[in-house]
Chain A
């Protein structure tokens, strides 16, 4: 028998393994594995192609894995960048206080008040579209809730006696941020980064699907999905179904990793 804690750790490891496997497999797929086979177009799932083939006979499983790994890399980049922003702003706001705190809180409310998808599209276009546009767009909209969490946490630490003592010992904001605050917020940062990831890839895919994200020649999931729309009415359901369900599976998987890490770290639930 294994306990709940072991089960949680097992689930984190299995999902992380899958995550790494897709990422690596996708990166190893070269252009020539995506060969065109015009004698075998629109093959339904089964037999040699378990996800079927597309309108030029390319294997949908290979395309899906390739697309997922690209989306996941973008998602990773976006979530790490978002949590870096969240870390800097969330720590700076309470420590600098006054006008800085008011401004950062206002900025959080401002960004949160615009619908994400709309903001990403606008920022992405303004930044020249493509990979850089989508990364900046997703990053610029996903730091807010984590910043709030960290700001609240730092406010508590700021009021703690040991930080006040540290100031009386002549230590500045930078020392306090690095030595006193950072060790306390690392768990929040880790969980936050993991939990931003599913949002990031879903938003990237949806904006790309709408045609404002990655260009059509990139093998991203969003591109595959928007192409498949053309053939959906003629009954080629597998073109959209498998990539779509894989995307949702990946985001649910990462979400579960984040929730499980949180459960392990949080003392309230750690040994339950």
Chain B
């Protein structure tokens, strides 16, 4: 499968275009880095790919077919701030089960302790919460994963642990991963290729 973004243009209101005729594509099992300075539309492109935002023109397709807006979206975005991506009134077990309850092995690999499942989101740290958000997105129906600064707030060891698990899972289930980050060394280490948005748009 191939996720394609064709001639995407986007701007907020009537301001200048932040994305102008951008073409981008990622295949199943491929890990693509997406980098650019602040304000060049990395996150916006991620949101367009995952269906959170409609482009002004252009389209997002999987193998040539447009993605249905209802039902489980095959492209899942992982947000930068996990504390906003989790309902504060839900216990963590419910948060995970919103897609499907992950296997014990996956939980273990992500470093999620069993006792955390019965806690409230406010009783976990940002890094711990982010593991839940990542695990939640790794359901069987997810075909592409967009990691928007997914591990920026984590320490190096946790970063390595999460990326190891995610990339292992992606390889196993043929999930395409888009890594949005400022962290050049990280991108160079984990990505098959790196796309610089500054070069894509005018």
A interface residue numbers (CB < 8 A to B): 160-166, 168-171, 179-180, 183-184
Q: Does B71 contact A (CB under 8 A)?
A: yes
Q: Within residues 33 to 91 of chain B, which ones have a CB less than 8 A from any CB in chain A?
A: 50-52, 70-73, 76-77, 79, 81, 84-87, 89-90
Q: Are A162 and B85 in contact (CB under 8 A)?
A: yes
Specify which chain A residues have a CB less than 8 angstroms from the CB of B84 in the assembled complex: 160-162
In Å, the complex CA distance between A160 and B84 comes to 7
Q: Are A162 and B87 in contact (CB under 8 A)?
A: yes
12 of the cross-chain contacts (CB-CB < 8 Å) are A161-B84, A161-B85, A162-B84, A166-B98, A168-B51, A168-B72, A168-B76, A168-B77, A169-B72, A169-B98, A170-B71, A171-B98
Q: Which of B52, B81, B87, B90 contacts A168 (CB 8 A)?
A: B52
Q: Which of A161, A171, A183 contacts B79 (CB 8 A)?
A: A161
Q: Does B201 contact A (CB under 8 A)?
A: no
Task: For the complex formed, measure the closest distance between the CB of B72 and the CB atoms of chain A, giving whole angstroms.
Answer: 4
Q: Does B158 contact A (CB under 8 A)?
A: no
Interface of B is mostly: loop
In Å, the complex CA distance between A168 and B51 comes to 8
Q: Chain B: interface residue count, which band?
A: 10 to 19
In Å, the complex CA distance between A171 and B90 comes to 16
Q: Does B99 contact A (CB under 8 A)?
A: yes
Task: For the complex formed, measure the closest distance between the CB of A179 and the CB atoms of chain B, giving whole angstroms.
Answer: 8
Specify which chain A residues have a CB less than 8 angstroms from the CB of B98 in the assembled complex: 166, 169, 171
For A183, the closest partner residue in chain B by CB is: B89
For B78, the closest partner residue in chain A by CB is: A165
Specify which chain A residues have a CB less than 8 angstroms from the CB of B77 in the assembled complex: 168
Specify which chain A residues have a CB less than 8 angstroms from the CB of B73 in the assembled complex: 168-170
Specify which chain B residues have a CB less than 8 angstroms from the CB of A161 in the assembled complex: 79, 81, 84-85
In Å, the complex CA distance between A166 and B71 comes to 10
Q: Which of A165, A170, A179, A180 contacts B85 (CB 8 A)?
A: A165
For A184, the closest partner residue in chain B by CB is: B89
In Å, the complex CA distance between A160 and B76 comes to 16
Specify which chain B residues have a CB less than 8 angstroms from the CB of A170 in the assembled complex: 70-73
Specify which chain A residues have a CB less than 8 angstroms from the CB of B89 in the assembled complex: 183-184
For A168, the closest partner residue in chain B by CB is: B73
In Å, the complex CA distance between A160 and B90 comes to 14
Specify which chain A residues have a CB less than 8 angstroms from the CB of B86 in the assembled complex: 162
In Å, the complex CA distance between A163 and B89 comes to 12
Q: Are B99 and A169 in contact (CB under 8 A)?
A: yes
In Å, the complex CA distance between A179 and B95 comes to 11
